[in-house]
Chain A
């Protein structure tokens, strides 16, 4: 016997506290009503006979106290929720697959369709299993977009019902394996951990083999589901246009279907000139779509086994041309590189970025690419930032930021050794605090003395530097549920207003749907999971899990308390006890 709600020490202390409290209450309970009588001779004689049987002078009713203590003790025992130990003391964790594939319909053992989804069947099966297990040694988790706890150890089943009432499968790839791996890596109780997965597919055998070990067992309850052929969109992504036009993108749509999908951009149907059938589906390429943030949707005819993968949406990137203002003194080599950049347009007035010599007032208060005198002692390359990097200059975070920007700006492509040999001194990259973003480099690097202006790295560095200065967001060509974003910053929020977790430097999109960035622009993420869309293996005959012999004493304890309450009520009514 053990207690699922209280420790044995807490139970014992509580019982002792109850006994003491009742004892004091029993003593305080004697609130004598003052009655004046002709004589007390007979009362004294009547009371005198009972006095020898009490253990304190005013504590007159030991049996009433014992009865009350028994009732309170039983109720306290019920609060402590005792359980018989039964066989096996391992913690049973029931993991319900809550991913998109569980939205498939459920079928009976005979193979005929039944009402409800596999997810609902999994919830029901898990509930039945949880009812068989000792309360203190069971928990139910949902492996959907996140790993959620539906029933913690010790909690009652009605809580599970309440939490599971409105649950639906999340539009995300299967996370069952990740949940198993996480549980395998997490702390395990001494008595061991027994996982029971409720899904329509076996977790990866290799993973299970890797996780298995002493005190960790995994079993799967496979549910029979609708295994009809299923169609779905398995890929949807944009990339910079092959034509080289900066403000257009090419889009790829791949489906696993018998028919080509219907594609719309902001509601207007699109036709693809490059559609081809591949094994089990179609691939379509749409060229030179305007990169203005439009919503592109690919939709298949429904009515198949799984509806969540029948449509996918993508918010095309917005790629306006950069307005760059060039100082008249800009070296010709640099000017030529900028003017040949297809994503840049020369600006006379309002500009996103200016290019000038250090000390010029041209385009003040605008992010600038500045040319500095090599002889001034300035580093060869300097990145100026106004925000956290400036505050953190010199510390570890600054070094991390500098390394990231080094790669982002293509500085790694530059042959710094050759430059250092020519300069006769080290080529430095520095991080400098400033009010506006800025990039500084020696003016001489754009001249004839160095080979940089003639190298392939120079236009790449200049193009990226201009975009870094204009703070152009990274090109995220595809947004698939369950996959990390290409650029975790800036942070996005989901439809419920929750900020995506960027722990570890990656922000995973938990499910398909709409997300909002810090500029209030909406982005659409799609399911795009071939394994979810793909065929499902017919489950083997279900093996009944081991049933634990369990006796729940709780109803009997409550019943005993009620009986004692009835006895007390009767004794009070009959004036046997006060």
Chain B
């Protein structure tokens, strides 16, 4: 198990450069956000013109469109769209299973988290990092600033491996934080002992938009095991004696397919983004596939 990563492993200039062309655009951000580049549902003192409405007592006279008044003889005020930020809440899975195998899933997961963080910080959005394992750990409260990427890289590099995977509890804790509505990006293999149904139930409880990054490996779908084996869970030591036969492998694949389809169906139903990230391939290249024309509409 690779217990620690270095900041250099997570982030270098090439990595950052490859992210420059990518943007995360919110369909609409929640109110009361700070000024940024995302369109909000609030109309007010922004830059982008949105609409007209009849003048009412108390409106700022600077907003009156005098050209319309001259042509129509009626007083209208111009309404502008307020541009606010889209908070990005990164929830990387740092449980023991993420550090098992080579290369560890945590490396790909943390690189993906850092990539998304870099993109958001570049758009003046705020980024918070919450590591999940047995429970949620706040690594970084939401913050903004382009220059904070390296800070985040160092932060993520210092992440300690957690215990067992408990996504249900971690997501409940995230919801309990009462964060402003934003984009929650869960980066995990989603192998929760409670089962995928329990995980999806916890995801439904989140009042945020969702981006699911599933960390996968080819052997997840097609395990290369033969003979009589005792498979032992790397986290809790739970074991199962299995005599590998084609029939057993068939049932294993069926169980995995069910898991995958449940996750996919959920993402589609909630109009959430879902990307399967092969941990043995380049992370940014795979993430780029998520961004149509360089833009991810959350």
Interface residues of A, Cβ cutoff 8 Å to B: 29-47, 49-50, 58, 60-61, 574-578
User: Which of B232, B244, B249 meets A34, CB within 8 Å?
Assistant: B232
CB distance B231 to A35 under 8 Å? yes
CB distance A575 to B100 under 8 Å? no
Say yes or no for B255: interface residue by CB 8 A criterion.
Answer: yes
CB distance A33 to B229 under 8 Å? yes
Interface segment, one of B16-24, B65-73, B175-183, B188-196? B188-196
> In whole angstroms, how far apart are the Cα atoms of A73 and B133 in the complex?
56
Q: Given contacts A36-B234, A39-B97, A41-B195, is CB(A47)–CB(B228) below 8 Å?
A: no
> In whole angstroms, how far apart are the Cα atoms of A43 and B223 in the complex?
10
> In whole angstroms, how far apart are the Cα atoms of A31 and B249 in the complex?
19
CB distance B255 to A45 under 8 Å? yes
CB distance B251 to A38 under 8 Å? no
Chain A contacts for B227, CB-based, 8 A:
33, 578
Interchain pairs with CB closer than 8 A, number: 100
> In whole angstroms, how far apart are the Cα atoms of A41 and B225 in the complex?
16
Minimum C-beta distance from A472 to chain B (A): 87
Q: Residue on A with the closest CB to B230?
A: A32
CB distance A578 to B233 under 8 Å? no
Chain B contacts for A40, CB-based, 8 A:
231-233, 238-240
Q: Given contacts A30-B243, A41-B193, A46-B242, is CB(A35)–CB(B229) below 8 Å?
A: yes
> In whole angstroms, how far apart are the Cα atoms of A578 and B226 in the complex?
9
Chain B contacts for A45, CB-based, 8 A:
251-252, 255
CB distance A38 to B242 under 8 Å? no
CB distance B245 to A32 under 8 Å? no
User: Which of B100, B189, B223, B245 meets A578, CB within 8 Å?
Assistant: B245
Q: Which of A45, A46, A575 has the most CB of B within 10 A?
A: A46
Say yes or no for B160: interface residue by CB 8 A criterion.
Answer: no
For the complex with contacts A32-B230, A36-B231, A43-B252, 17 further pairs of A-B residues with Cβ separation under 8 Å are A29-B228, A32-B228, A34-B232, A35-B231, A35-B232, A37-B234, A42-B255, A44-B240, A45-B252, A46-B251, A47-B241, A49-B251, A50-B247, A50-B248, A61-B243, A575-B244, A577-B245
CB distance A47 to B248 under 8 Å? yes
Chain B interface main SS type: mixed
Minimum C-beta distance from A266 to chain B (A): 85
Minimum C-beta distance from B257 to chain A (A): 10
CB distance B191 to A33 under 8 Å? no
Q: Residue on A with the closest CB to B165?
A: A39
CB distance A37 to B231 under 8 Å? yes
Q: Given contacts A35-B229, A578-B228, is CB(A60)–CB(B234) below 8 Å?
A: no
Closest 4 CB pairs of A and B: A32-B230, A46-B251, A39-B191, A45-B255
CB distance B255 to A33 under 8 Å? no
User: Which of A58, A60, A576 meets B246, CB within 8 Å?
Assistant: A576
CB distance A576 to B245 under 8 Å? yes
CB distance A58 to B231 under 8 Å? no
Contact residues, B4-21 vs A (CB, 8 A): none
Minimum C-beta distance from A46 to chain B (A): 4
Contact bitstring B96-122, A, C-beta under 8 A = 1, else 0: 010011000100000000000000000
> In whole angstroms, how far apart are the Cα atoms of A575 and B191 in the complex?
28
User: Which of A32, A38, A577 meets B100, CB within 8 Å?
Assistant: A38
Minimum C-beta distance from A576 to chain B (A): 7
> In whole angstroms, how far apart are the Cα atoms of A512 and B249 in the complex?
81
CB distance B240 to A35 under 8 Å? no
> In whole angstroms, how far apart are the Cα atoms of A35 and B225 in the complex?
9
Chain A contacts for B231, CB-based, 8 A:
35-37, 40, 43
Q: Which of A32, A34, A35, A40 has the most CB of B within 10 A?
A: A40
Say yes or no for B259: interface residue by CB 8 A criterion.
Answer: yes
CB distance B229 to A47 under 8 Å? no
Chain B contacts for A42, CB-based, 8 A:
252, 255-256, 259
> In whole angstroms, how far apart are the Cα atoms of A414 and B238 in the complex?
111
Q: Residue on B with the closest CB to A29?
A: B228
Minimum C-beta distance from B193 to chain A (A): 7
Q: Given contacts A31-B228, A36-B232, is CB(A43)–CB(B246) below 8 Å?
A: no
Q: Residue on A with the closest CB to B252?
A: A46
CB distance B225 to A38 under 8 Å? no
> In whole angstroms, how far apart are the Cα atoms of A50 and B242 in the complex?
10
Chain A contacts for B105, CB-based, 8 A:
38
Say yes or no for B220: interface residue by CB 8 A criterion.
Answer: yes
Could you list some 18 contacts between A and B, CB below 8 A? A30-B243, A32-B241, A33-B227, A35-B229, A35-B231, A36-B232, A36-B233, A36-B234, A38-B191, A40-B239, A41-B195, A41-B259, A45-B255, A50-B247, A574-B246, A575-B244, A578-B228, A578-B245
